[in-house]
Structures are given as C-alpha cells and as structure tokens.
A and B are shown apart, each in its own frame.
Chain A
Amino acid sequence: DVKVTQSSRYLVKRTGEKVFLECVQDMDHENMFWYRQDPGLGLRLIYFSYDVKMKEKGDIPEGYSVSREKKERFSLILESASTNQTSMYLCASSLGGAGGNEQFFGPGTRLTVL
C-alpha cells in the first residue's frame, strides 16, 4: 500500500515564524501536491511538483514556497507565518503520466498560527 506521511499531525506557531511542513511518500511517485483545507472552501491546491526540483503554482501559492530535492520528499514552507494560514494542510502523491491516476493523501497537519 502507498503510504504518505506528514511530519506532524498538529503544529502551533507564532506569527512571523518560518514553518516547514514535510511530506514523504514511499511508492516512488513522480507527482506530489500540497493542499490546504478550510471550512466551507474545500481543498485548495497550493503547489505541486512533477519531478525532483520541479514545482508549479496551484490556485493559492501566495505566502508559500516548496522544495523537492528528493523524489520521495516534498516540503511546504511558510516564510513568515500569518494567522490567515491557520488551516489543515494535506499532502498527496500520484504516479506520473497523463492517465487517470489517483492521488494518495497523507493524514494532514493541522497548523495553528497565533
């Protein structure tokens, strides 16, 4: 079974702190994704990556950056956390290619910025 793990289930940070959210998948998937989930807004795509060192902006990239130095790891970075970044963050991975590939999700990190 595919396993996608995220470094923390719960995280509390202060405004202005730099925050790293880590995601690791163990199935050699080419694609990795970061979403945030907020009540009434569903899941919104922040960034995704098709390959090592490749990244593409999603729908809401402002205030975030990402890093993919190794195929299995995709990091989401909040350079200076703000209270409006309090949210549930979900990482996902999938095989590459143009076919109908399902995404496998991690358990999520609930981030609170005070």
Chain B
Amino acid sequence: DAKTTQPPSMDCAEGRAANLPCNHSTISGNEYVYWYRQIHSQGPQYIIHGLKNNETNEMASLIITEDRKSSTLILPHATLRDTAVYYCIVRVLGNQFYFGTGTSLTVIP
C-alpha cells in the first residue's frame, strides 16, 4: 500500500521557491517524514527529515502540518541543478523506508 501521495510532476522557475507537497494521512505518532531526491542516473540523496516541528537546513525547509497528515518541502531559490525526482517517505518502525514514485521537479530557466 502506498504510504505517501505526491503529485507526479511540477515545474518551477529558476530563482523562485519550489514548494513540493506530500500527503501522509495514515502517519502514526512515531513515524518520521523524510525527503530524498534523485538526479538522473544517480542514487537518491538525503535532503531533510522531521517528526513534528518544522525543520531547516542548508538545502531546504520542511513544513509539517499540525495534524501531521501532510508536509511541504521548500527549496527557497531553485536552480537548474535542483531538477530531480523528489521522494517523500514515511519511516515506519524497524528502519524500513517506503519509497513511492515521487514528484519530478523541472526547474525552468
């Protein structure tokens, strides 16, 4: 069963913020939300993760709704190198990660 729901594709203008949504309505209290991205022909790359609170690092910000049923990954100033498939993942107990099909983000010059 799918653990998360993401739009299949999105476009974003270079230099603008990219906001990638994710629904995880069946998330339980001890599950984290992770975001990874995969640039063509490479392995996935970790971006950020969170449990309840919003998180920010040098790559992105993660906004999690109060009920934790959805989240948004924000790339504040998208560049052409941010073109990739972005995966939103909910981590169940036991260290298993369930990857869906992700969102293909295209940054347009």
Contacts and interface: CB of A to CB of B under 8 A. Distances in A.
Interface of A: 4, 31, 33, 35, 40-45, 48, 50, 56, 58-59, 90, 92, 94, 96, 98, 100-108
Given A42-B87, A44-B99, A102 B46 contact: yes
Interface of B: 32, 34, 41-46, 49, 51, 87, 91, 93-102
A42 B6 CA distance: 12
Contacts of B102: 42
The 5 closest A-B pairs by CB, nearest first: A105-B43, A43-B99, A102-B46, A42-B101, A100-B32
B100 A90 contact: no
- Chain B interface, >50% SS class: loop
A5 to B, nearest CB: 11
Contact of A45 (B44, B51, B96): B96
Contacts of A48: 95-96
Contacts of B41: 108
A101 B43 contact: no
A105 B91 contact: no
B44 A58 contact: no
